[in-house]
Structures are given as C-alpha cells and as structure tokens.
Amino acid sequence: MARDRAAAVEAVRNGPAARVADARDRQRDILCHAGGLPVAPVAEGLAARGTIYRWFAAWRDDGRFERINHALVMADRERVGRDASPSAAIIDSQSVRTTEAGGPRGYDAGKKVNGRKRHALVDTDGRGLVLEPHPASTQDRDGGGPLLRVSRRIFPFIQRVFADSGYAGEKVTTATLVAVEIVRKNPDQVGFAVNPRRWVVERFFAWIGRNRRLAKDLEATIDSARAFLYAASVMLPVRRIARAS
C-alpha cells in the first residue's frame, strides 16, 4: 500500500497539471529576468540564475518566445473585437548601444550609436508582431525587406505598412506584396512633432524600454537579443489580458 501511495503521489507530482505549473514558473522567472529584476542573490520565489538561463536558452533555441508572442497578440486582438491577424502595421527601428559582451555590432552614423539596431513591426495598437535585431550599421531599407518577408509567414493578412522615409525605395516596396506607405514629416515642421501612425511604433519602443535588460543590448548573440525582445513584447498583451479579466 505504501508503495502504491508513493507511486500515486509521484504520478501527480509529474502529471500534466504539475508540468503546466512548472512551465508557468519558468515563464515567470524568465520574464522577471528580462524585466531586469536582480536574480543574484536569488530573489524570493525565483529559481537560481543558472537554472533560469538554462530554461531561457532552451526556449530561445526552439523559438518559444516568438510563438508565445504570436498567440497572445492574436488573443488580445480578438479580446477587443478585432480580427486575430492584422491588416495594417507600422515598421521602424531603434539603435542601442552594446556592451563588452561582444557579438555582432555596427555603427549607425545617423544616430551616432555603436551597437545594434532593433527592427520592429507592430500593429496599429502597438502590439509587437515581428522583431529582429542586427548590427546598427544595417540601413533601414536593407533591414525592412527581410522583416516584411518574415511577417508574411506568421501574419499573412497584412496589406499595408506605414513607414518613415528611411524605408523609401525598391528594396522595401518590392520585397513583398505588402503596400508600403511612407509617412513624411510636415515640410514646415520645426523641432519635435507627433507624426501620424509612426508614433505607435515609437511608443512600443518606449514600452519595452521599461525593461532594464533592454536599456542596452547586453547579449553576446543575435539569437539571445531577439529572444529578450520577444520576452519584453510578451508582457504587453499579458498585462492587457490580465487587467481585462
């Protein structure tokens, strides 16, 4: 009887419910780490730093952050009565400095930043759709086309993308069948002004910038940098869905 009871307890401990709870704990720990919460010494309730990184590396390598973001974006859009897949999006980039961690980097002469560029495609409400980091020396017109091609696989119903003048030219407009509309500044503009559509993606960069891990690009590899971008993006629909429920 004791042996049977022990086997039953072990089955419950390793059963589906336990695996779901364990996965939730892993996601919580990784998101706390992405948000910049100190984990050494270990914060109360979090796993050890090495354990968190092992989970992070496994999720990074199998593309789990991208899949979680994709599922949550569609769920949040449906929550507010919109189609799961957007028909319009906004594209832009942000250049940030890197650290002594090394890895691919470049110099953005326009922003005078030595580091990496974060390319983002967001929907008209500011949800992150496709995110891609690369050396800051990559021009917007060179990085925009590949980003749009990736978007066709996971958000195939996008018909129009709004962009600034950095994306003008055939490299972007002919990369896919998506229509690229350039939102230009007012000719009489002096100083800062909020430009139609483009402010949405700028707000997205401000939102993910609240994560201390993204104050600079701290990662040694592009894959890790991409994973942390998606981990930060995931927090936005998670908060919206949680507050609504």
17 pLDDT more than 50: no
Burial of 94 (0-12, 13-18, 19+ CB in 10 A): buried
Phi, psi of 113 (to 5 degrees): -125, 130
| Digit-coded pLDDT (tens) for 65-81 | 999 999 999 999 999 99
List the one residue out of 238, 235, 231, 237 whose CA is nearest residue 63.
231
User: CATH number for the 64-244 domain, one of 3.30.70.100, 3.40.50.880, 3.30.420.10, 1.10.645.10?
Assistant: 3.30.420.10
| Digit-coded pLDDT (tens) for 49-105 | 777 788 889 999 999 999 999 999 999 999 999 999 999 999 999 999 998 888 899
**pLDDT value of residue 10:** 46
Phi, psi of 233 (to 5 degrees): -65, -35
CATH 3.30.420.10 in the chain, residue ranges: 64-244
State what percent of residues in the chain have pLDDT above 90: 60
> What average pLDDT score do residues 222-231 get?
94
188 pLDDT more than 80: no
Dihedral sign of CA atoms 166, 206, 188, 111 in order: negative
12 pLDDT more than 90: no
Q: Is pLDDT larger for residue 119 or for residue 211?
A: 119
Residue 163 CA to residue 182 CA, distance in Å, equals 5
Side chain identity at residue 5, one-letter code:
R
CB 168 within 8 A of CB 182: yes
